[in-house]
Amino acid sequence: MTVPQDLFAAALLDPARPVPEGLTDGAGRAAGRRFDVYRNNVVVSLSEALATGFPVIARLLGPQNMAGLARLYLRAHPPTSRLMIHHGTDFPAFLAGMPQLAHLGYLPDVARLELALRRSYHAADAAPVAAERLAGVGPERLLACRLGLAPALRLVRSDWPIFDIWRFNTENGAPKPRHEAQDVLILRPEFDPEPHVLPPGGAEFVAALQAGQTLGAAGDAGLAADPAFDLAAPLALLIQGAAVISLAEEGQDR
Amino acid sequence: MLDFAPPRDPLPAAPGVGYKPQHFAAATGDPGAVRWFEIHAENYMGDGGRPLAQLRHLAERFPISVHGVGLSIGGEDPLDEAHLDRLRHLCAWLQPASFSEHLAWSSHGGSYYNDLLPLPYTDASLARIADHIDRVQEALQRPMLLENPSSYLAFAESTWSEPDFLSELARRTGCGLLLDVNNVFVSATNLGFEPRAYIDAFALARVGEIHLGGHDRQSDDHGAPLLIDDHGRAVADPVWELLGYTLARSGPKPVLIEWDTDVPGWPVLEAEAARAEAVLARAAAPA
């Protein structure tokens, strides 16, 4: 009686399947609930990793709902990555597809924000361009420059107040979430990712920079989205957040 | 089987602990009895940020052991070459004193289970795992240590005892062994064998590192004790005794305290390391 890993694995994630025959307690008796130790280890470790990776979602749902949802998620999306730092990549989409969570429409976007924060935390290090060099270029020439952005930078757009919801659930005494759409820029000046709410047009501005457009063209993209857009504030945010890592005038390499 | 020079700076025959980021300041400020640290390889496979910065700092001051939990050496599937590449990259920049993995599997058919799953000890599994170890050692260009598992069940199809299976793997591949004394105690209780007989049968000359950790106590369908290797509490007294028995036969070895869930403050962990240091000192003293 052999127990192939196909059979063992199938029974791990499905408690309705019988314990494979050929597993014993060491004295020849059927393994019985000893198999459940492995079932439990797998489900608990992966569920806990999900709750650790999405602490605000776990807090919003409460421990029991989170644990129940994690089990459903694991059966629907058995992890494909051996790295727990990448665990739960499909979780935002899974939340969006749960009809019983439809009344909490902001959950998937809050999960995307948490995933982006985690990715920012583990992103590669990069030294920012020195402030003197930026100042030395001068405003006219700067507009013609393309800016290289830090690998830790992330942009998360949402129709929900995801920054406010995140802050309300991570910071003591934070104000109650406003009723507004929020685009969030994540910067990592050193090791801790920091989310910032972007003004209208800010997301289009950052997305244009990410796409390799010049600062001037990115400013135009912001203006096209909102006539009141001014690139000064988001540019200052990028510089203060150590997010500008290279500078190249048009025609040059960054 | 490959021939390797021993690492220039092997782990010292002294206590180490599993590194936890929350202990960074306390551990680097006052390591006490702790002489080296072990990290889980997969937690340091990001591209940058604080985890890698802390590890670089730690590695400047202490010997580091890299302990993999995700390679699935015991798997029926071929080794994941992309994961092996990540291990190679980590070992290349970190130059750890040791690399170890488990006699277990954790992935199958593209799914990853995040647990160390058991396997039968047969001629077929022996040949497969020996091939996997050869591949790992070839890729990392260093010998690895293979760790004995904690078991909650046995396979009726097994034809090898665990110590013999591990000895034969070491003989065929040139790998070393990581002897987890708590796992021996847990498996012995769960499967009904004598832990000292297991130690007596173990290829102690091949052991490059010893693990200790805490376990939980439950029971099976028949009311028999079922110990769970949870790394969530202090090392149990009978496990300390088994460590003394082992060291008296093996001589001093690097001894690691693993505490991975309900992780205590640094002083509690350091006290466990100090206890290991005392057992090591007794083993080193002439009888």
The residues with which A92 forms a beta bridge, in sequence order, are none
User: Which 8-state DSSP code applies to residue A30?
Assistant: B
B132 belongs to a structural domain: yes
The secondary structure of B16-34 as a DSSP string is EEE--GGGHHHHHH--TT-
Predicted confidence band of residue B223 (pLDDT cuts 50, 70, 90): very high
Helix (H, G, I), strand (E, B) or coil at A185: strand
Cα–Cα distance measured from residue B156 to residue B108, given in angstroms and rounded to the nearest whole number? 21
Q: State the pTM of this model.
A: 0.94
Domain with B151, as residue range(s), is 26-284
List, for residues B260-273, the tens digit of each pLDDT value: 999 999 999 999 99
- Please identify which residue in the block is written with the tokens 């796409």: A211
Residue A191 contacts residue A208 (beta carbons within 8 Å): no
Cα–Cα distance measured from residue B40 to residue B70, given in angstroms and rounded to the nearest whole number? 9
Helix (H, G, I), strand (E, B) or coil at A18: coil
Domain count, chain B: 1
Q: Is pLDDT of B66 > 80? A: yes
Q: For residue B253, which of B1, B9, B5, B14 has the smallest C-alpha distance? A: B14
The secondary structure of B86-131 as a DSSP string is HHHHHHHHH--SEEEEESSEEEETTEEEEEEE-----HHHHHHHHH
Token digits of residue B280: 């090591």
Residue of B nearest to A22 (CA): B156
Cα of first residue to Cα of last residue in chain A, in angstroms, is 63
Q: Which pLDDT value is given to residue A135?
A: 86
The secondary structure of A100-152 as a DSSP string is GGTT-TTHHHHHHHHHHHHHHHHSPP-PPPPHHHHHHH-HHHHHTEEEEE-TT
B51 belongs to a structural domain: yes
Report the residue from A2, A6, A85 with minimal CB separation from B46. Answer: A85
- On the 0-12 / 13-18 / 19+ scale of CB atoms within 10 A, A122 is buried
Q: Which pLDDT value is given to residue A47?
A: 96
Residue B12 contacts residue B276 (beta carbons within 8 Å): no
* Residue A13 region by backbone torsions, left for phi larger than 0, else alpha for psi between -120 and 50, else beta: alpha
Q: Which pLDDT value is given to residue A131?
A: 85
Calculate the dihedral angle through the C-alpha atoms of B120, B123, B127, B133, rounding to the nearest 10 degrees. 50
Token digits of residue A219: 């400013």
Query: Which chain A residues are within 8 Å of B193, Cβ to Cβ?
Result: 26
- Please identify which residue in the block is written with the tokens 């990259």: B89
Q: Which amino acid is at A18?
A: P
Q: Which pLDDT value is given to residue A252?
A: 63
Residue of A nearest to B52 (CA): A122
Cα–Cα distance measured from residue B7 to residue B97, given in angstroms and rounded to the nearest whole number? 7
List, for residues A49-70, the tens digit of each pLDDT value: 999 999 999 999 999 999 999 9
Cα of first residue to Cα of last residue in chain B, in angstroms, is 38
Q: Is pLDDT of B35 > 80? A: yes
Helix (H, G, I), strand (E, B) or coil at A245: strand
Q: How many residues does chain B have?
A: 287
User: Mean pLDDT across the stretch B48-65?
Assistant: 97
Under an 8 A CB cutoff, do A24 and B153 touch? Answer: yes
* Residue A81 region by backbone torsions, left for phi larger than 0, else alpha for psi between -120 and 50, else beta: beta
Residue A162 contacts residue A113 (beta carbons within 8 Å): yes
Minimal CA separation from B90 to chain A, in Å: 14
Query: Which chain A residues are within 8 Å of B192, Cβ to Cβ?
Result: 25-27
Q: ipTM of this predicted complex?
A: 0.93
The residues with which A68 forms a beta bridge, in sequence order, are none
B11 belongs to a structural domain: no
Q: Which residues contact B130 (CB under 8 A, 6 or more apart)?
A: B169, B172, B173
Under an 8 A CB cutoff, do B109 and A49 touch? Answer: no
Query: Which chain A residues are within 8 Å of B231, Cβ to Cβ?
Result: none
The residues with which B212 forms a beta bridge, in sequence order, are B257
By the CB < 8 Å criterion, does B155 face chain A? yes
Q: For residue B280, which of B239, B246, B231 has the smallest C-alpha distance? A: B246
Beta pairing class for A194-197 and A244-249: unpaired
Mean per-residue pLDDT over chain B, rounded? 95
Q: Which pLDDT value is given to residue B130?
A: 98
Q: For residue A186, which of A113, A110, A128, A244 has the smallest C-alpha distance? A: A113
Q: Which pLDDT value is given to residue B287?
A: 59
Under an 8 A CB cutoff, do A79 and B111 touch? Answer: yes
Token digits of residue B279: 């057992």
Size of interface A-B (CB pairs under 8 A): 142
Mutate: best of B114, B123, B216, B261, partner A, most A CBs <10 A = B114
Under an 8 A CB cutoff, do A122 and B46 touch? Answer: yes
Q: Where are the domains of chain A?
A: 1-104, 124-254
Looking up residue B249, the CATH number of its domain turns out to be 3.20.20.150
Q: Cα angle at A222 between A218 and A226, to 5 degrees?
A: 165
Cα–Cα distance measured from residue B247 to residue B39, given in angstroms and rounded to the nearest whole number? 24
List, for residues B160-197, the tens digit of each pLDDT value: 999 999 999 999 999 999 999 999 999 999 999 999 99
Under an 8 A CB cutoff, do B155 and A22 touch? Answer: yes
B18 belongs to a structural domain: no
- On the 0-12 / 13-18 / 19+ scale of CB atoms within 10 A, B7 is middle
Rounded average pLDDT per 10-residue block, chain A, 254 residues: 93 92 93 95 95 98 96 93 95 96 97 98 97 88 96 98 98 96 98 98 98 98 98 96 92 59
Under an 8 A CB cutoff, do B191 and A25 touch? Answer: yes
